[in-house]
Amino acid sequence: MRLLPEQSWLQFNRRVLLQAERPDFPLLERMRFLAIWNRNLDEFFAARIAKPFLKARGSLEHRQLLAEARAQALLAQERYEALLTEASPRLKVLSPEALDELDWLYFRVFLAEVAAPKTDLIPWEAAGDVSHGALYFASEAHLVRLPQDLPRLLPVPGREGTYVRLGALMRARSDLFLPEPAPLYEFRVLRLLESERARADWDELVESLEARQEGTPTFLVAERGFPRAWLRRLREALGLGEEEALTLPPPLDLTLVERLVAEGPPEWRFAPLRPSRPKAFLKNPLHRLKEKDLLLYHPCEDYGAVERFARMALEAEEVWATLYRIGEENPLAEALIQAAQQGRRVHVLLEGRARFDELLNLSWYLRFLRAGVRVLPLPERKVHAKALLLLTREGGYAHLGTGNYNPQNGRQYTDFSLFTARKEVVEDLLAFFRAVAQGEAPRLRLLATGEAIRRRLLEGIRGEAHPEGRILLKFNHLTDPEVLEALAQAAEKGARVDLLVRSTLTLLHPRFRARSLVGRFLEHARVAAFRSGGRWRVYLTSADAMPRNFQNRFELLVPVLDEEARSKVLWALKRQLKDGRNAFLLTPEGMEPLWGGGKDGQGCR
């Protein structure tokens, strides 16, 4: 059975939403998944739906995607109500009618002095220009825009654990937002924020971002009870069909539950994770790597080891790094800045085009430049590799990872980190950096990038296409037609094909053993393993198995050469193949959750 990538990805988002039903998860953690699901769906209509929307809008496939999104939104609203009912002894979201006179003493002032001055009154004639994702209200004569920086959920002073929606308050006091009191109805519009422009320089990136908010509307969510004539008028102004609009009871954006998750009882959340720490490495990273490679499995093993390695840039003569999504505060990036300020030669390949992180990366770009870091020009290909290279008088030391150099994600996503001082790895990695810096295609011997990653995967798969063959792949996305066809042929020739695919798998073959894990941690590692002649060959990579990653990106694939490290990777993957708590089986007949028993493949012990 073949699926569109967008169909498969929506199935993944349904799996995310189903976490809100898990009986083994604390209440606030189940709520958190509502917010994750909502952010994912917004991103779907802002980016992932681009191809079917632009090339096949109105087709059966496009309508099926819309139907699935609508079904998930309805289910999410049901889960929101159910979780609030469960939380009601200690957390409540009141309606304005449930507030007393004392409560209104505060909220009248809040609405008048905080909310009203920040809202925009818009004529209906400008309905086609409403912003992506913002909360709007419609009245018969006007539209009202609520700024993104105002909290959607407000605590009720003096009532612990009690909140009220700002949108509901505004509707109760429409006289503060309209020329005269009138009924208000909520709505949100989602737009395609993908730019079709080629962006190969920082200046061009800025120009592209300036135009992004003008993206074409892709979906409209309106409050249930929204007057039909108004809804039709709004759809027509946005150029949307009936199937591209959905009505729901408020709230229309469930990310507001993040406040409940943050401020609710701590016993309703997961206990803090206490990762193990590689003490010898943390004491002296470079000395430890002279002895042998080190492989860490995050978040069970401390991501702080990566940041400790980066601080060794102060002892290096030259440093090279790829940076993709690094967040607002980043100890690793700060270590590179400090090294540059102290006279080290620091070269950073900062990928400015990481979707929706562009503004943050522009900020880091300026910081690096002003600190003396050499920021390499953006190449035509997007750089998604995860690599850090320290060159000293004694030799080179490398970190190669499957995840981003992001301090939050590094502690919440499952990823592998490989540290090594092997000469052949260091030489290849330096060749990669120098080639990209010079605008040339890297020529590598041990590592692989671009199309060579696909060739390495195909070689491994085809080598196992026999009854004794064993293939184990773990990716976020597995959509490449050549790789999938090779997997199908290997499976049909008797090989055992185990796939751990978090999000998108576009071929569901009856002989594949395919599963997706969705749990406490975001599954993020990318691994390929082949049992050749009884001995496993294992590769870590930054690349998902997608055509764009082989054709349009600089990725890296690295073999795990150390026997202990190789065994550790296989141990983690085989545990996930036996997971009975977080797994969904993916078959041509659909997906089946394996909850309530068996091993926890995300457990750290």
Catalytic residues: 384
Give the three-class secondary structure for 417. Answer: strand
| Measured distance CA(52)–CA(190) in Å, rounded | 15
Q: What would the two tokens of residue 524 be?
A: 């993020």
**C-alpha 71: how far from its chain's center?**
22
Q: Where are the beta strands (DSSP E) in 156-272?
A: 162-165, 185-191, 217-223, 245-248
Nearest-CA neighbor of 524 among 432, 417, 448?
417
**Residues 368, 351 contacting (CB under 8 angstroms):** no
| Sequence-ordered strand ranges (E) for 177-276 | 185-191, 217-223, 245-248
Which tokens hold the place of 473?
Answer: 């792949």
Supply the DSSP string of 290-334, one letter for each residue.
Answer: HH--EEEEETTB-THHHHHHHHGGGG-SEEEEEES---S--HHHH
Beta-sheet pairing, 153-155 with 162-165: antiparallel
Cβ neighbours for 456, distance < 8 A, ≥ 6 positions apart? 448, 528, 539, 557
User: How many CB atoms are located within 10 Å of the residue 302 CB?
Assistant: 21
Q: Which DSSP state fits 215?
A: P
Considering all CA atoms of the chain, what is the largest pairwise distance in Å, rounded to the nearest integer?
80
For residues 193 and 208, what is the distance between their CA atoms, to the nearest angstrom? Answer: 10
Residues 6+ apart with CB under 8 A from 15: 516, 518, 584, 591, 593
181-202 exposure pattern, b = at least 16 Cβ within 10 A, e = fewer: eeebbbbbbbbbbbbeeebeeb
